[in-house]
Structure 1
């Protein structure tokens, strides 16, 4: 039995999943933890991780360590994505984490992040053809799936935190700010040459912003377990109506929306712009949500290694 600890350090949150794996590759998820750390906050044009954000992150990682330190011989896979990937003080930050927590992070490129997203989704949902969209705090990963195979992949600098801080008011979003932000996102999407191949295909949403979209709608429809969004489907009309509703409210109003975390209320509009524009661009009629993504992709990669090792034996 192996205790696999996967830590995903993103731009807005840090998450940990602990799974028990046996020698046959069977698994059981035993622990899932999440902390909002807003690591990419106020990085600015110089792309510097700020002291307050670093301190929040270290505190969260210390809490995680207190949990996985209780395990017998944990196998730790810790990955960092867009915020650390883009940071000019990346090396200093990673050294600080190592010195304080004896924890080694691997900074993965956006294409690797996308591959893990793909593994997490195709192993848990019946995806044949579609576009996977993972909107994080500082980047978005797009993956075109055809016949269950990953055909095209790209990581683009569009995230809920970075878009919100660069273009949008944290209180009531103004029309000119929204137009500027949407124009910026649209221009980047238009540069992804293969996106037209996804026209009319279903969209699969990952990442905190997209999952929040699902939670708001599940809460609105009185689902008992509104956070269980895996496999949940929404029409394009529901997506557009939700963004319209959010835009009609100020920050205090958004904080009162059931299903929307107060920690995310100031960045949710920016977080939903990429998927909304994608669905309009591709004329997609429906989005399906996935709770499985990067961490699950790492898990399935580990399971495949175990099974392949058994086959070689």
Structure 2
């Protein structure tokens, strides 16, 4: 049996996924958890991991190490993304993690992050022959990949994650209309390379990967009285554009407490989802995309499938 533990250290959430190849050569999930560490909180705009976030992260990784040991895992791969990539104390943080937990963290580039996300989304089965625009909204960065089920045409990571957007544009709650416009203008300016690539490759659909998009689907399903998502946790979903806009306008209208009361809302996303939803709206409008597909798989599943493909 080959057992692999994957740790995805995002700016907002840390994920642990433990899998193995069974006797039939199939990939089997043994354990999965997500912890809202909020590594970017209080520090992302200053370019350093804040002391409280630092301690939360180390504590979470200590717990992950206990679980990994309990499952008798042979190989551990831990990946850090935008927050650690850009933090002035990122190197010290990585050394500290190894000293305290014996977990060796690989700080991956935005380009590599986008590549792994593509493999994760492809494994979810949401891609086909048509050209898709994958969008993965993290706390620190947003990855965009223009692709189909065969290949990547273009990919890039932008340091425009929901925590960064929140620090910049979330001055009052509910968010003011002028701040919504300010965020869209900022995205229009910063995403110029994406806009040029979209002209070249002409995507027909938006594929949202995990995180924000899962929550948008959960809210939409429960709004329509469909509880099956909460039971089955589907790998691939569709979200009608008009249904997205129903949820989007609700998020813009409500304050923190009211958003928290929305069925399907997760506490760890309750504020950031406002900024993320504005970014989704911008992409749909700017690139005239008429269809939204959602993949529950993202970076960690991409790493997993690539790792086991090499066994």
Same topology, TM > 0.5: yes
Cα 1:29–1:73 shift into 2, 3 Å: closer
What runs of 5+ residues in structure 2 fail to find an aligned partner? none
The one of 228, 238, 244 equivalent to 2:249 is 244
Q: Which moved more, 1:228-237 or 1:178-187?
A: 228-237
Q: 1:109 to 1:281 in 2, by over 3 A?
A: same
Q: Deviations over 1:231-285 (max 9, x none)?
A: 2111222222211111111111111011111221121111222222111112111
Q: Report deviation, 1:229.
A: 4.4
CA–CA separation in structure 1 for the residues paired with 2:172 and 2:270:
8
Question: For residue 267 of structure 1, what is the aligned residue in structure 2?
Answer: 272
Match of 2:177 in 1: 175
- 1:287 paired with 2:292, answer yes
Aligned to 2:37: 37
Contact 2:6 2:77 in 1 (8 A): yes
- Alpha-carbon spacing, 1:198–1:233, altered in 2? closer, same or farther (3 Å): farther
1:160·1:209 contact (CA, 8 Å) conserved in 2? no
Per the alignment, residue 60 of structure 1 pairs with: 60
TM-superposed deviation, 1:68: 0.8
What secondary structure, in the 3-state scheme, does the structure 2 residue paired with 1:292 have? coil
Contact preservation (8 Å) 2:126, 2:294 = no
Give the alignment of 1:27-176 within 5 angstroms.
27-128=27-128, 129-146=131-148, 148-169=150-171, 171-176=173-178
Partner of 1:304: 309
Deviations 1:71-125 (A, max 9, x none): 2242101000111111111111111111111111000011111111111111221
Instruction: After TM superposition, give the deviation of residue 41 of structure 1 in Å.
Output: 1.2
Residue 191 of structure 1 aligns with which residue?
Answer: 193
Q: Matches of 2:221 and 2:177 in 1, distance apart?
A: 28
In structure 2, distance between residues paired with 1:110 and 1:200: 21
Q: Deviations over 1:132-179 (max 9, x none)?
A: 110100101001113521110010111111101111136321122221
**Most deviating of 210-219 and 19-28:** 19-28
Q: Quick one: structure 1 residues 44 and 130, their matched pair in 2 at CA, closer, same or farther if it must change by over 3 Å?
A: closer
- Cα 1:225–1:91 change in 2 (3 A) is same
Which residue of structure 1 lines up, in the alignment, with residue 215 of structure 2? 212
Given that 2:48 and 2:87 are in contact with CA atoms closer than 8 Å, whether structure 1 keeps it comes out as yes
Query: Following the alignment from structure 2 to structure 1, what is the Cα–Cα distance between the partners of residues 273 and 73?
Result: 39
- What is the TM-score of this pair, normalised by structure 2? 0.93
Q: Mind listing any 5+ residue stretches in structure 1 that lack a counterpart?
A: 307-313
State the alpha-carbon separation in 2 of the partners of residues 170 and 98 from structure 1: 40
Residue aligning to 1:309:
none
Aligned partners of 2:8 and 2:16 also within 8 Å: yes
Is 1:234 matched up with 2:226? no
User: What TM-score does the superposition give when structure 1 sets the normalisation length?
Assistant: 0.93
- 1:44–1:11 Cα change, 3 Å: closer
